[in-house]
Structure 1
């Protein structure tokens, strides 16, 4: 039985050309999709994950610096108190030019530490706002928003506990500082150079009591503030480490070969 030309053409199309074309198209689409996936993964690393890690480190470094500022303030005040006690006991060094410079440098250091703490407080607040936005951005891109929210809520609960203790301690200190008679403090400053002024004895007694009962707790509070910042910083680091593990696992899984590449490569 004769086979028509049309039948032969259709048979060739069906058995050879069409499968070849479809196969080429499908193969090309899969390759292109695979290339797009690689580009997308690279964009996640470049535009989201790497900047996030850098911002995490920046915030942690600022937090450590702020804790160091508070610790330095406390240490500086301890030195000042010790010098004052030596002065009261008559064991202080003679007021040479060298000793004057030493005392003046204590005051200069105090001013520098306070300015530094104020600067780091502002920088840390801004850094944490930017860090939180970076978390949201990368979570949306990688589909890990739910996981981040859970970790963030857990972290906020821990921070609130730390802050509640710190605020209570600060409120107690503020109440004590309200009891200070600033008029007596200023009077003591202005009349201390006049040995004949009869108010000296009363003011000296008040100043000594003030330093013993009010200044010492203030010094201790700066040490406490340093400890609080260390604890807050530890929570920031803990959140970073936990979420980074989730991100690294998610990004790594995207780099694994898909079913097509596993089959043909």
Structure 2
């Protein structure tokens, strides 16, 4: 083989080996890319999607809670109005089976109050579990410092709402002594309702008590809605943070992944 032919053969051999080696390397890179893409899918499945689903359930229950507080306020007022109506209306005008109406209202109020209590427990559990999901995502996405900053801002905002709500509650009940409610109830039961003076006194007391009770539920509804909005803002901030962190590496496709 001449020197010229041997030189050409060597160049050809180097080219073939280079092509083969490049193919092997590309296949390895492509396989790594596929594996990384698979990890991303598992990451979304194991962390991001469960967080989204839990937040949706929490938000739905929380929304229902502050709406139920409003319903409870109306129920207290309705119950009070009905009792006052029974006191001031002669028995002959109420009808033989009239007691079915107030009993139905009281039953509805009791069920509504139980529903509110159950929702309070549900929302509390949801929020505790959701915060853990937020923290997990912060750790696995490497965004824990940002998460802590957002969490601190959220906590301060919610604590301010709680503080303001407590002030409103105290203001609403400042002229009421809870220890006097039971003696007052016994007094009502033992009172002679055949006199207009006694009827008038009971009506005034009932209206005052119902006003305070109904207002309390309205306060709870108002401030629970404010907390709901803060929860939602916190979620949206974290959602954007995590979504950017997860998608950043993959947003440019394969070429972006290589470089």
Aligned CA RMSD, in angstroms, stands at 3.2
**Per-residue Cα deviation, 1:46-84 (whole angstroms, up to 9, x for no partner):** 111111111111111111121122112111111122223
Deviation, structure 1 residue 128: 0.5
Q: Helix, strand or coil: the match of 2:85?
A: helix
The TM-score, its normalising length taken from structure 2, stands at 0.83
Counterpart position of 1:41: 40
Alignment coverage as a number of residue pairs: 254
Counterpart position of 2:180: 180
Q: CA 1:230–1:161 in 2, change beyond 3 Å: closer, same or farther?
A: same
Could you list the structure 1 runs, at least 4 aligned residues long, displaced by more than 4 angstroms after superposition.
11-14, 172-175, 192-195, 200-206, 260-263
Deviation, structure 1 residue 114: 1.4
Residues 1:151 and 2:150 are matched in the alignment: yes
Counterpart position of 1:80: 79
**Per-residue Cα deviation, 1:152-179 (whole angstroms, up to 9, x for no partner):** 2111111011100112233445552336
Counterpart position of 1:249: 244
Q: Distance in 1 between matches of 2:92 and 2:79?
A: 14
Q: CA 1:28–1:98 in 2, change beyond 3 Å: closer, same or farther?
A: farther
Q: Name structure 1 gaps, 5 residues minimum.
A: none
Q: Name structure 2 gaps, 5 residues minimum.
A: none
The TM-score, its normalising length taken from structure 1, stands at 0.81
Q: Distance in 1 between matches of 2:177 and 2:49?
A: 47
Q: CA 1:194–1:224 in 2, change beyond 3 Å: closer, same or farther?
A: closer
Is this contact kept in 1: 2:80–2:207, CA < 8 A?
no
